[in-house]
Amino acid sequence: MTNDISEPDTSFAERAPVARRGTSWRALLAIALVGFLLGGAALYVALGSPDLRIALLSGTASEPGPAAPLPSSAPTGVPLAASAARQVAEVAEQQGGLDQRVAAMEQRITRLDLQAQAAAGNAARAEGLLIAFATRRAIERGAPLGYLADQLRLRFGEAQPRAVRTIIDASVRPVLLDQLLARLDGLAPALHRPPAAEGLLGRFSRELGSLFVVRREDAPSPAIDRRLERARLFLESGRAGAAAAEVRLLPNAAEAADWISDAESYAATQLALESIETAAVLEPRQLRDRTGAQVEQLSPVGG
């Protein structure tokens, strides 16, 4: 037993270096294999770039290319002058184009200004015509003018002062067409009677003249009934002036003096209304707008 414990185990000591040498070779082989794999992977990644792959295959990646020629530091005088002239021409061309654009813009602004003035003038004329129409309706109904009187003075006071005054006076003392017709029918019996101041000789001459009437075929009949009939027809058509002229020729026209005055006033009012309506359309200079400013735009109807 003592001999077995004290003697060393020589078989284990001999096997240890052999096992250590086997382990080191395996480690070296594994490291070499890993390095080979890493190198292959790096080469695969590098060859993945098309430019690098083409350069490696053609063998031109490592060859230096020809050097680019350096620009001349001292150009000649002729090219420099030509370049300067070209730049001057370009600047002049740009300046000319800018001037043309500015001129076109100014023409457009002027055209727009004229169009705006024309629109304002036409609007003022249209408003004046509406005022004239409203005034006519008020006069024909016998209604007071109210604000229309101020508008008439403002817009037509310089162009048609007499017509404006006639219309305003007629609105204060209105005369209606149906009233003239009714009054004419009421005056018919008095107009058929001989004049009260007529003497015996005058009555004899009038009766004798009514027996024999010498006139042209196309001339109107001087008979009282025919004159009254014509006067009524003239009134129904709005021609109060012609109706007043017919009644004035009757023998007893003095009985209808007030009627004749009212008929002539009605006719004058109608003429005044026509005057301001015409002025609203054709008046070239004296027409005013709602602010009292002169209308510069000429009438589109009168050119």
The domain limits of the chain are 117-203+220-282
Task: Provide the CB-side half-sphere exposure for 213 (13 A, CA).
Answer: 11
- Residue 298 has a pLDDT of 75
- Residue 206 has a pLDDT of 52
Regions of the chain where pLDDT drops below 70: 1-24, 40-81, 85, 88-89, 91-99, 111-118, 120, 194-222, 300-303
Spell out the alpha helix ranges (H) of the chain: 2-6, 10-47, 50-58, 77-141, 147-156, 161-172, 177-192, 200-211, 224-236, 240-248, 257-282
Give Cβ neighbours of residue 301 (< 8 Å, ≥ 6 apart).
281, 282
Q: What is the dihedral of CA 13, 14, 15, 20, to 10 degrees?
A: 80
- Residue 8 has a pLDDT of 45
- Residue 291 has a pLDDT of 85
- Residue 205 has a pLDDT of 59
- Residue 116 has a pLDDT of 64
- Residue 162 has a pLDDT of 95
DSSP label at 173? S
- Residue 79 has a pLDDT of 67
Give Cβ neighbours of residue 52 (< 8 Å, ≥ 6 apart).
46, 61
- Residue 60 has a pLDDT of 45
- Residue 203 has a pLDDT of 54
- Residue 193 has a pLDDT of 78
Q: What are phi and psi of 294, to 5 degrees?
A: -70, 140
